[in-house]
Copies of this chain bind each other. A is one copy, B any other.
Amino acid sequence: MTSPDAKNAADLIITGCTALVHDDHEQIDFVEDATIVVRDGLIETVTTDDLADTPAAERIDARGQIAMPGLVNCHTHAPMVALRGIAEDLPLEEWFNDVIWPIESNLTDKDVELGARLACAEMIRGGVTCFADHYFSMDAVAAVVAGCGMRANLGEAYFSSQGAEGRERSLDFALRQRGGADGRITTSLAPHAPYTVDDADLAATAHLAREHELLVHIHAAENRDQTDTSLARHGRTPIEILQGAGLLDVDLLIAHGTGIVERDLPVLAGATGRVAVASAPRGYLKFAWPTTTPVRALRKLGIPVGLGTDGAASNSSLDVWDAMALTALVQKSTEGDPRWLTARQALHHATLQSARAVGLGESVGSLAPGRKADIILVDLSGPHTQPVHDLPAALVHSARSSDVRTTIVDGRVLMRDRELQTLDVAGIVDELGERMPSLIDRSHGRKIQDYDA
């Protein structure tokens, strides 16, 4: 590409696809028989012109496929795939206190690295090009992101029980790693939750976020119990606690928010920061929580609601496509309105709103010139997606993550025709399997934290 002869050659040209784009009003639209030109990791153009004569280092014939912005997993704990299935059919408190937090006291950097590699393999195969991760040993995750080619927003989690050190380590990580992996890594400060991080630490976090222009990624109002407990103990909801700490005046990504209640809405409406919520509905059903993220109320306030999977130890998978379909279904059911959260709305959550939620609203989430070339190609030729009377519905309700054939990040093909290009699943699984006995051992009786919210 840098030789004089190929100076004008595009890096990648995708031809013959139907491209999912956003119109001037940000509505989902489709361009048939589209050609997408990628240069220097960016989308140069999405056009119906015939560019058969334009030189390109690589061409992908995508006839019969849909090109979409890559999916964004707005809230996960990627390395927890190592614990997939370890604690099934339990309420949240037992899940945390009896299984997850005891096991996490065993975590090593190597476990985190292997978990992150497996998670990235799963996500790339599911059409996820970017994920917002909130976990421990995040330098190991950053190294995996650098190696596998994905994009990520990474935050080192902390509790107040760790003292000032936790918060300092989170800041150090965020400053040291941001801009890494050729700019594919952005970072956030990652306080765990209002029930594990005290008001002083939350206020200090808000201060640091403003000073260093960092996103804050936090669990809050995860479920209604947490809101009720917070009201009983502090007279304030978790959202009001965030407000009191100044966190609504910085860029803030709130995970879950199924415990957001009516009195929180004016509080959120008064936020001066870019506040977003990540919804991961599968886990809420699995934990039998009484409510889900109040998407309709949040949208009325203009708050973006991105899609996420949470960790695989609760959600069973990192399948953002499934989160998209389930969000549409659960929102219809919760609101008692079959006309609400249409397939087009679900696709808007999965694209621009998810990009905004992780602080990348200007650079990913849309197939438009100048945006990062994070693109997936989806095959709708299978019998389960035919015929296509309604393309948004076919994508959201009939297609599955396994219909993603090609995943591209920054113009680089990470999966081609379902084959991963940068990760070796069998090798990762073998290596992880060897470490498993010591990882899941709970005989020591330790745990990293108590759940009491």
Query: Which positions in A face B, CB cutoff 8 Å?
Result: 81-86, 88-91, 118-119, 121-122, 125-126, 282, 284-290, 312, 316-319, 328-330, 332-333, 335-340, 342-343, 381-390, 393-394, 397-398, 400-402, 425-426, 428-429, 432-433, 436, 440
Contacts and interface: CB of A to CB of B under 8 A. Distances in A.
A128 to B, nearest CB: 11
Contact of A333 (B288, B328, B388, B440): B288
Contacts of A312: 398
Most chain B beta-carbon neighbours within 10 Å: one of A285, A287, A387: A387
Given A384-B122, A386-B84, A386-B429, A317 B397 contact: yes
A313 to B, nearest CB: 9
B286 A338 contact: yes
A398 to B, nearest CB: 5
Contacts of A390: 85-86, 88
Contacts of A319: 384, 400
A382 B89 contact: no
The A interface is mostly helix, strand or loop, or mixed, namely helix
B425 A336 contact: no
Given A342-B89, A402-B400, A387 B333 contact: no
A182 to B, nearest CB: 24
A400 B425 CA distance: 18
22 contacts: A81-B386, A84-B386, A84-B388, A84-B389, A84-B398, A85-B393, A85-B394, A89-B338, A125-B383, A282-B329, A285-B329, A285-B333, A286-B328, A288-B333, A288-B336, A317-B397, A317-B398, A319-B400, A381-B426, A383-B425, A386-B432, A387-B429
B88 A393 contact: yes
A285 B334 CA distance: 9
A384 B317 contact: yes
A387 B82 contact: yes
Q: Sorted from nearest, which 6 A-B pairs have the closest CB atoms?
A: A316-B397, A85-B390, A402-B402, A285-B329, A121-B383, A85-B389
A84 to B, nearest CB: 6
